[in-house]
Amino acid sequence: MGFCCACGQSASSHPSSLFLSHLSRAQLALALEAIDTRHFAFEGFASSSDTEMKDNPADRSNMADPFLTTPSADSQSPGQSLSLDTFEKNSRDIIRDARELGVGERQLNFIRVQQEQLRALFLEATKAAAASAATIQGYQNHQDFARHYSIELKLAVEQCGFIAEDHRGYKAELEDLKKKLVQVSKELNDTKRTQCVMKKDYEAMKSKQETSERENEALKRDMKELQQLFRVHVL
């Protein structure tokens, strides 16, 4: 833990540590780290301010407290505004208690600088918390979105299973129909061959019939000739 360059006190026993009791453990860690690592950069500022106040004692009572000016309500959420009001009230209480304890103006200036740093850290932490909440809400929205579409995807998979089962049934029926068509085709070919044989037999029978008719005509002619010869001989 570091020491205050303005008064030589440790950060834990410094009057500004009264404020730290109002912070959460995480904010307290950030605040103490800020006191250790940042306040040395403001030593020159505190010394110069102390010198100016020695030259102008009347300005001491009119010195502006950086926590007396509250950001506009438009830039804060309701929860942030309430916390910031509490923060600034505690800061003013620290300044008042420090004056009552007889802390010098230089030390008061340094306390103000520390409080301004803490205020900046407080606002950053508040914004980070809001951003984290928004991120978590975004994750939850994505989870809800994924959950919704996972249900739809599951239903689609089941539907695809039903369609695939129907497809397998239709495919089996199609294969059976193809076998039947092959059998019918074979039977049709056999019928065609039978028709060809029957056609040949028909043509042969027709040829025989024509031959028989010609023979009958020849016999008729012979019978007429014999009848004429018989009549001639008888008469």
Reported as a single tens digit per residue, the pLDDT across 89-124 is 888 888 888 888 888 888 888 888 888 888 888 888
Print the domain residue range for 51. 17-142
Does residue 93 sit within a domain? yes
Assigned domain for 111 exists? yes
Number of domains, the chain: 1
Residue type, 161: G
Helices 43-55 + 105-234 axis angle, to 10: 140
Q: What is the mean pLDDT of residues 220-224?
A: 86
Q: Report the Cα 210 to chain-centroid distance in Å.
A: 93
| Residue 224 lies inside a defined structural domain of this protein | no
pLDDT of 82 reads 55
Interval 70-82 mean pLDDT = 48
pLDDT at position 235 over 80: no
Token readout for 187 is 């039977």
Q: Is 10 strand, coil or helix? A: strand
pLDDT of residue 81: 52
For 93-113, give one letter per residue: b (16+ CB within 10 A) or e: ebbeebeeeebebbbbbbbbb
pLDDT at residue 8 greater than cutoff 50: no
**pLDDT at residue 7 tops 80:** no
pTM of the full predicted structure? 0.34
12 assigned to some structural domain: no
Q: Is residue 135 very low, low, confident or very high in pLDDT (cuts 50, 70, 90)?
A: very high
